[in-house]
Structure 1
Amino acid sequence: MLQAVSRHDFDRLMMPTYAPASFVPVRAAGSRLWDQQEKEYIDFAGGIAVNALGHAHPQLQQALVQQASQLWHTGNGYTNEPVLRLAQQLVDATFADRVFFCNSGAEANEAALKLARKYGHDRSGGAKSGIVAFTNAFHGRTLFTVSAGGQPAYSKDFAPLPPDISHGTFNDLASAAALINENTCAVIVEPIQGEGGVLPASAAFLQGLRDLCDQHQALLIFDEVQSGVGRTGSLYAYMHYGVTPDVLTTAKALGGGFPIGAMLTRESLAAIMGVGTHGTTYGGNPLAAAVAGKVMELINTPEMLQGVEMRHRWFVDGLEAINQRCNLFSEIRGLGLLLGAVLNEKWAGKAKMFNLAAADAGVMVLIAGANVVRFAPALNISEEEVRQGLERFARACETLVEDDAR
């Protein structure tokens, strides 16, 4: 018999690195979820852009169960069939020739930054080690990636930080150009800053970074951990922009909820990382690879990707209608099904209030900093689920407005 647990046990047993919601989810299907008290929620959070096909997708379940009956894990001293099939899918679908598998977006970015440093060292004997990143970015929680992230709140307590990382202003090409030089080994950028406020890059900014990297023989790394695997309506956001990076990192939606990450790159760069230069015990695990292979099969279709743009309109139209009634947002921005409702001056700094009020109303949303309510639902969410979820979110917004007027 399973031991009874509650939200209170988190505060008693877990390290206080998170402040989770007051309810405990116990089961889910599609874009609906139920807690311990059987309260239903519409899921507009998607596990932070992870559950790209919703919860408990039957074909993902089947892929996992089938693989679990055959081979779970061998370690990186051996390869396996699911990971080779997944690698071929990613190579066939992208600019890349080679793939390195790991377990998370942070690990994928760590691998990309290590590749960049080794690339620079091999070319210059050590002088070419500079990394240019951008303020308000988010690349993970390892010491290297949190340093690249450019958000001091996440890194200041862990100094001394890895050196030779500088930060420009996102979407400001002149700011980047002032930092990129012959000693720069890489520029790392999110095509859409997710945690930084759901802020899409301009096409001119990304093309400018491509040109600057070419000029200074630096690698252009696209962090597509949040924007990848169909989230923008293209398989990867670089396809939407028409700007091809040297290295791409992907995770989150790649496993549809099963932990997996990957770094993709060209043949010549992959050759830099010879045997023993990098590794991971669980990376390329056959269970994760089998699930991710099915995710790729289901998402990388014209029907699924075209459906993202249709759902984008449902959300934007619905949020704009709420805003007409409640006057809360200064802007609705984002691409595909990664959207941010930017709070206006009156409500600035109160995104968490919207997150909590939405949960009370039976809909799960995210925040992206203190000023942006973020939406990252499943790519296959139904029109009825969107309608009901937006109705619940509207009630939450109306409640906040009414409370404020009292």
Structure 2
Amino acid sequence: MGDAAAGLGARVLPVVPVRARGLTIEGADGRRYLDCVSGAGALVLGHNHPVALQAIREVLDTGAPLQVTGLSTPVEEAFVTELTRTLPPGLAERARVRFCEPAGKAPVATAAELVRAATGRTRVIPSTEADHGAWPEFADRGPQEALPAGMIVEPIRGRSGVLPTADAWLRRVRGSTAERCVPLIADETETGVGRTGAFWAVEHSGVVPDVLVLSKAIGGGLPLAAVVYRDDLHTGEGGAFAFRGNQLALAAGAATLAHVREHRLAEHAAALGGRTLARLHGLADKFSCVGAVRGRGLMIGVEMTGPHCTADAGPQGVRLGAGAGAGAGAAVAVAVRRECLRRGLIVDVAGPSGSVVRLLPPLIVTEEQMSAVLDRFADAVQAVERSPSDHPPPHGVRAARQP
């Protein structure tokens, strides 16, 4: 298994965490690390935030059942109430919530099942097709031709290398789908709860989707997933999911949503993220191995490049480096991650070839802490650039042939 495929398993990051708080993880070796992975973005309040812990303790102290399926509880009702407060106007007033399995593709599959039942149609255009031309082709068809049951968009494709979807494109798609009564599904699994500088990333474009797919951060660090949808799409209850009613996750999630909203952490992410991106662009000017810098708020990707590797942000900042140098870029990204770890900084690697270093700090990160993160990152990049022979391509990636 290559590094990109392995993700953040123990083979990649040899850290045994024993304690954690906020941005910091303490390893079994006594070292402290700044965590800019944040549970793949799930820990918007960082590790063991007091409001999430207190909410969990309160549920435990009541003696209430911890797992409930098919029954409404006060904890669930409190979560739904808080979630509704955060939804975009136009959806909040008509929103219904369906909980689902918090694993893998289950939340998106639940959304697809919902729009199929509501429309009586079958095809759902996935975000990968939507972003690569399927929608413009469909939009030109006449009304007599079969319509899809729905279309999925991702405001930012995180695992693909932090690729923002252009706001203007989202608005055009929203107009076309609304005109044809095709439900628009926004997958906010990675981008939700203030991560991008707005509570929900679709709000940057002004688009109001018919369906929101939510996971990761909505559980306050515990597994939780939900599909929020407009009430006219409701056709009855969905399938039974064994772990859709975890009371601890609902309590931690409600507390997290409230804290992000009340403390305006989305606005904090927007401001601090803007300054962070500016500093990273400065690194791109200084180091040849730093290519495109992309992101919004505190969801940031830095594309690493190697010899003969082109990494262009493109007109909307959505192109990846390609060609023979992609493998070299992946090798540089792995080397940067390794050097970051040596300096006490944990970062992620993403993108089709594994050439993008992701920074996903919690939204509670301070200006001083973010400065320390960027100092360590810059030092790691400098170390890699000075020792290019120390980072061969990762397993399964062929090095670029020298001319």
Equivalent of 1:243 in 207, 216, 219: 207
Equivalent of 1:53 in 45, 59, 62: 45
- In structure 2, the residue matched to 1:109 is 108
Give the superposition deviation at 1:348. Answer: 2.2
- TM-score of the aligned structures, taking structure 1 as reference length: 0.80
Secondary structure of the 2:254 match is helix
1:392 alignment partner AA: R
- TM-score of the aligned structures, taking structure 2 as reference length: 0.81
**Residues 191-213 of structure 1: CA distance to partner in whole angstroms, max 9, x if unpaired?**
11111111111112111221222
* 8 Å contact from structure 2 (residues 167, 204) kept in 1: no
Give the superposition deviation at 1:86. Answer: 1.0
- Matching of residues 184-263 of structure 1 within 5 Å: 184-263=148-227
Secondary structure of the 1:187 match is strand
- In structure 2, the residue matched to 1:339 is 300
* 8 Å contact from structure 1 (residues 129, 183) kept in 2: no
Moved more, 23-32 or 179-188: 179-188
C-alpha distance in structure 2 between counterparts of 1:317 and 1:25, whole Å: 32
**Residues 258-315 of structure 1: CA distance to partner in whole angstroms, max 9, x if unpaired?**
1111100111112x1x24x412122132211111010011001363222112210332
Matched, 1:99 2:83: no
Secondary structure of the 2:39 match is helix
C-alpha distance in structure 2 between counterparts of 1:333 and 1:69, whole Å: 44
- In structure 2, the residue matched to 1:318 is 279
Are the structure 2 counterparts of residues 100 and 18 from structure 1 closer, same or farther at C-alpha, using a change threshold of 3 Å? Answer: farther
> What are structure 1's unaligned runs of at least 5 residues?
1-15, 122-127, 136-166
C-alpha distance in structure 2 between counterparts of 1:244 and 1:357, whole Å: 42
- In structure 2, the residue matched to 1:38 is 30
C-alpha distance in structure 1 between counterparts of 2:9 and 2:263, whole Å: 40
Equivalent of 1:349 in 330, 333, 346: 330
Give the superposition deviation at 1:184. Answer: 0.6
Give the superposition deviation at 1:376. Answer: 1.0
Secondary structure of the 2:149 match is strand
C-alpha distance in structure 1 between counterparts of 2:293 and 2:159, whole Å: 16
* 8 Å contact from structure 2 (residues 36, 359) kept in 1: yes
2:54 alignment partner AA: Q
* 8 Å contact from structure 2 (residues 102, 244) kept in 1: no
Runs of 4+, deviation exceeding 6 Å: none
> What are structure 2's unaligned runs of at least 5 residues?
1-7, 308-327, 391-403
Secondary structure of the 2:285 match is helix
Matched, 1:371 2:333: no
2:214 alignment partner AA: T
**Residues 35-71 of structure 1: CA distance to partner in whole angstroms, max 9, x if unpaired?**
1101111111111111100111111111111111122
Are the structure 2 counterparts of residues 17 and 375 from structure 1 closer, same or farther at C-alpha, using a change threshold of 3 Å? Answer: closer
- In structure 1, the residue matched to 2:254 is 293
C-alpha distance in structure 2 between counterparts of 1:118 and 1:173, whole Å: 21
Give the superposition deviation at 1:245. Answer: 0.7
* 8 Å contact from structure 2 (residues 68, 247) kept in 1: no
Secondary structure of the 2:223 match is coil
- In structure 2, the residue matched to 1:401 is 385
- In structure 1, the residue matched to 2:343 is 361
**Residues 318-343 of structure 1: CA distance to partner in whole angstroms, max 9, x if unpaired?**
32333333222222111111111122
Are the structure 2 counterparts of residues 191 and 179 from structure 1 closer, same or farther at C-alpha, using a change threshold of 3 Å? Answer: farther
Give the superposition deviation at 1:185. Answer: 0.5
- Matching of residues 58-207 of structure 1 within 5 Å: 58-70=50-62, 71-94=64-87, 95-96=91-92, 97-104=95-102, 106-121=105-120, 128-135=121-128, 167-170=129-132, 174=136, 177=139, 182-207=146-171
In angstroms, what is the RMSD of aligned CA positions? 2.3
**Residues 136-169 of structure 1: CA distance to partner in whole angstroms, max 9, x if unpaired?**
xxxxxxxxxxxxxxxxxxxxxxxxxxxxxxx243
